[in-house]
């Protein structure tokens, strides 16, 4: 990201060129909208949406909360949780540095996705940028945020494609054809911090249950370590109004 006063800071993902499609393309207008951004990280999307006219409330873990680490019995779970908390402190610091550099008015609330506080109040749009794959219970995370969301939800995630190594593991266990693929491979104890690949259809089913029955799926390419990777975005519109 380009940080005013600091210049270009490199990261694993470079969403600068494709950010519009990452956020659902022309079908979503952020101007004047109150947005709840799930998994704000160091704020690249926060400040981008703010520049598009949104009033953003970010939401993320801090060092007081635990990441949904995969509890592989052969690994030291407590040690991994602790080192992740140190990592979260750095990410949170990045957010505040960016916040200041961008002269931002965005807010951020810290907690786990499963307990989004009612006190945030109602929002027009909720975004889930590459976060559901990291969650043990993605449905509960959606439910927790969408109970406050009046109009639109934007979910961006990685597609369900066979990954070398994982497919071998799958074949051995004879588990195939799921629309939601369970990533943890206990024969290699990886990944420790990701759980799922979903087809866009899976996300559409989740959203439909929660009252967002009108959905549109788009596919786009983003840069990961300077190489193009395909992602998808599901934009869901609320068809069952929020109870008063």
Ligand X SMILES: C[S@@+](CC[C@H](N)C(=O)[O-])C[C@H]1O[C@@H](n2cnc3c(N)ncnc32)[C@H](O)[C@@H]1O
Q: How far is the CB of 74 from ligand X (least distance, A)?
A: 22
Match 């380009």 to its residue by tokens: 2
Burial class (CB in 10 A: 0-12, 13-18, 19+), 10: exposed
Q: What is the DSSP letter of 50?
A: H
The helix/strand/coil state of 59 is strand
Give the binding range for ligand X (CB under 6 A) out of 37-45, 163-171, 195-203, 207-215: 37-45
Q: How far is the CB of 195 from ligand X (least distance, A)?
A: 10
Give the binding range for ligand X (CB under 6 A) out of 96-104, 131-139, 182-190, 230-238: 131-139
The answer to the question of residue 57 lying near ligand X (CB under 6 A) is: no
The answer to the question of residue 135 lying near ligand X (CB under 6 A) is: yes
Looking at the Cβ atoms of 44 and 170, the one nearer to ligand X is: 44
The answer to the question of residue 61 lying near ligand X (CB under 6 A) is: yes
Q: What is the DSSP letter of 102?
A: T
When computed from its CA atoms, the radius of gyration of the chain, rounded to whole angstroms, is 18
Looking at the Cβ atoms of 110 and 169, the one nearer to ligand X is: 110
The answer to the question of residue 198 lying near ligand X (CB under 6 A) is: no
Across-strand partners of 8? 2
Counting Cα atoms < 13 Å in the Cβ hemisphere of 77 gives: 9
Q: Positive or negative, the Cα torsion across 155, 157, 161, 166? A: negative
Q: How far is the CB of 114 from ligand X (least distance, A)?
A: 7
**For ligand X, which residue of 113, 158, 160, 202 counts as binding (CB under 6 A)?**
113
Across-strand partners of 1? none
Match 């911090």 to its residue by tokens: 193
Angstrom distance (rounded) from CA 181 to CA 162: 10
Q: How big is the chain, counted in residues? A: 244
The helix/strand/coil state of 195 is coil
Size of the site for ligand X (CB under 6 A): 16
The answer to the question of residue 69 lying near ligand X (CB under 6 A) is: no
**For ligand X, which residue of 33, 34, 99, 134 counts as binding (CB under 6 A)?**
134
Report which residue's Cβ sits closest to ligand X: 129
Contact residues for ligand X (CB under 6 A)? 39, 41, 44-45, 60-61, 67-68, 91, 112-113, 129-131, 134-135
């Amino acid at each position: 990201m380009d940080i005013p006063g600091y210049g270009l800071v490199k990261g694993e993902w470079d969403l600068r060129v494709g950010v519009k499609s990452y956020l659902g393309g022309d079908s979503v207008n952020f101007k004047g909208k109150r947005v709840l951004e799930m998994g704000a990280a160091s704020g690249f999307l926060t400040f981008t949406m703010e520049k598009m006219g949104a009033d953003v409330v970010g939401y993320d873990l801090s060092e007081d909360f635990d990441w949904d680490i995969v509890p592989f019995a052969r690994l030291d779970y407590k040690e991994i949780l602790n080192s992740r908390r140190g990592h979260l402190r750095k990410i949170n610091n990045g957010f505040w540095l960016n916040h200041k550099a961008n002269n931002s008015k965005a807010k951020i609330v810290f907690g786990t996705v499963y307990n989004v506080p009612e006190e945030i109040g109602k929002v027009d749009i909720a975004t889930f940028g590459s976060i559901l794959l990291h969650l043990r219970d993605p449905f509960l995370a959606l439910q927790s945020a969408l109970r406050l969301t009046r109009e639109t939800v934007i979910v961006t995630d990685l597609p369900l494609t066979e990954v070398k190594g994982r497919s071998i593991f799958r074949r051995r266990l004879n588990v195939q054809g799921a629309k939601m693929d369970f990533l943890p491979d206990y024969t290699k104890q990886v990944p420790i911090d990701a759980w799922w690949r979903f087809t866009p259809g899976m996300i559409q089913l989740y959203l439909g249950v929660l009252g967002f029955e009108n959905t549109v799926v788009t596919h786009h390419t983003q840069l990961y370590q300077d190489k193009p990777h395909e992602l998808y975005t599901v934009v869901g519109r609320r068809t069952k109004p929020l109870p008063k």
